[in-house]
Amino acid sequence: MARPTSAFRCTECGWSTVKWVGRCAECQQWGTVVDAAEQTGIVRSLQAVVPSLARAARPIGQVDVEHAAHRASGIGEFDRVLGGGIVAGAAILLSGEPGVGKSTLLLEVAVRVAATGRRVLYVSAEESTAQVRLRAGRTGALHDELYLAAETDLATILGQVDQVAPELLIVDSVQTVSSSLSDGLPGQPSQVREVASTLIRVAKDRQLPVLLVGHVTKDGSIAGPRLLEHLVDVVCQFEGDRQTALRFVRALKNRFGPTDEVGCFEMTGDGIAEVPDPSGLFLSRSRNAVSGTCVTVALEGRRALPVEIQALVVTTKAPQPRRVVNGVDPSRVAMIIAVLERRAGLRQLGEHDVYVSTVGGVRLAEPGADLAIAVAIASAMRDRAVPHELAAFGEISLAGEVRPVTSAKQRGSEARRLGYTTILDVEAGSVRAAVERAMMASSSSGERELDAAF
């Protein structure tokens, strides 16, 4: 009998090896190489099965799309991310860090859907029913059409679905549910794959939308096999800093809508509340102009948000000046400081500590905030305040040029709607010209304030 060529296989990517290793050489994942079944050499044949009349193939124009329509969940920001609402038979995966508010958000979705007369089954595999009931009483998520169960066995959950007959199923979470058809402990790749595929198959057969909660790893990716993200229809990521009340929901994958929408929420003592217009959340409340601040218009999905960037420049005697940032990319800030020294004439920045931060805990990853960061640093360096009515957005190149950014017209319209009359963008030409224009605006603004005082 021939010796099998491979006895171990990676559950993530399918890579095989003749001996066990702790880390897959293909996908670099730890603990995913398991003992594979040996080749028996038996050739099995597959017989064709005649489909039933309901499953028979038909012309695409005759397919009924009524069941695939979006139905509102009652939370506008969540519906915005999903593309208009929850689709019947859709499998939606919501991931996020521990304590960010995933269960609170889904409990709010459950009670809103139940308030429309649709029965909802909330299965908690991490908490007891008493614990969930306590949180529901605090947030006001109580309704007669909202059913609650605490189960960790997949077969029992399917029995609950048969008994309750819900129109929405929420499972919190998929990593803590186990199936008797698969070996291993809950949370292992084989268990997560079996549980997710079974729930998705039930969702498609019964036209039952399923909301699954997923854990994340240390690097922020979704725990479990990558196959989980391929199986579900929608992948949403719940982001937010636990030190702040602001939360964002982003769609990483959406078969029924766009993936560039962002939902904004705020954690309160009574639960989670949607923020339809978050324009004022990322701006300071100071009425007097302070040096080292500049407002930019960031693009979160299709939504333009004004964000205030603050900078502080302090003289230092240390051989290596500090560069401390919060909410922006440190490498881009270092590049902007180098451009300001070389192209804008601020040659003494190498002798100062530079601190850059955003207001409200928002994180800016796009290059459109480069110009506002440069203006804020220059304002702090020269100790001259930028007027409140000035906003800036644009990408800065190493040559000192201001390059255009995406959706510039939408950013400018949003800035003017909020009262920013002076806008620095690609028309400034260079970062030196933009900085000088901002300083001139601050001088004229100071003269107007001085005239008004006298």
Q: Which residues pair with 148 in a beta bridge?
A: 122
pLDDT of residue 285: 63
| pLDDT, tens only, 84-122 | 999 999 999 999 988 888 999 999 999 999 999 999 999
Q: Which of 338, 395, 339, 387 is nearest to 364 (CA)?
A: 395
- Confidence band, pLDDT 50/70/90 cuts, at residue 56: confident
pLDDT digits (tens, 9 = 90+) for 314-337: 999 888 999 999 999 999 999 999
What are the structural domain ranges in the chain? 1-39, 70-276, 293-453
Question: If one looks up domain 293-453 in CATH, what number appears?
Answer: 3.30.230.10
pLDDT tens readout for residues 344-392: 989 889 899 999 999 877 889 889 999 999 999 999 999 999 988 899 9
- Residue 401 has a pLDDT of 94
Residue-wise pLDDT tens digits, 165-178: 999 999 998 999 99
Question: Measuring CA to CA, how many Å separate 111 from each of 53, 106, 136, 168, 218?
Answer: 37, 9, 9, 11, 31
Is residue 396 within 8 Å of 344, Cβ to Cβ? no
In three-state form (DSSP H/G/I as H, E/B as E, the rest C), the secondary structure along the chain is CCCCCCCEEECCCCCEECCCCCECCCCCCECCEEECCCCCCCCCCCCCCCCCCCCCCCCHHHCCCHHHCEECCCCHHHHHHHCCCEECCCEEEEEECCCCCHHHHHHHHHHHHHHCCCCEEEEECCCCHHHHHHHHHHHCCCCCCEEEECCCEHHHHHHHHHHHCCCEEEEECHHHCECCCCCCCCCCHHHHHHHHHHHHHHHHHHCCCEEEEECECCCCCECCCCHHHHHCCEEEEEECCCCCCEEEEEEEEECCCCCCCEEEEEEECCEEEECCCHHHCCCCCCCCCCCCEEEEEEEECCEEEEEEEEEEEEECCCCCCCEEEECCCHHHHHHHHHHHHHHCCCCCHHHEEEEEEECCCCCCCCHHHHHHHHHHHHHHHHCCCCCCCEEECCEECCCCEEECCCCHHHHHHHHHHCCCCEEECHHHCEHHHHHHHHHHHHHHHHHHHHHHHC
- pLDDT tens for residues 75-87? 999 999 999 999 9
Q: What is the Cα–Cα distance from 406 to 367, expressed in whole angstroms?
A: 10
Level-2 CATH architecture, domain 70-276: 3-Layer(aba) Sandwich (3.40)
**Angle subtended at Cα 297 by Cα 291 and Cα 299, rounded to the nearest 5 degrees:** 145
Mean confidence (pLDDT) of the chain: 86
Whether the predicted pLDDT of 452 surpasses 50:
no
- With a cut of 90, say whether residue 52 has pLDDT above it: no
Q: Within 10 Å of residue 124's Cβ, how many Cβ atoms?
A: 22
- The span from the CA of 268 to the CA of 101, in Å, is 11
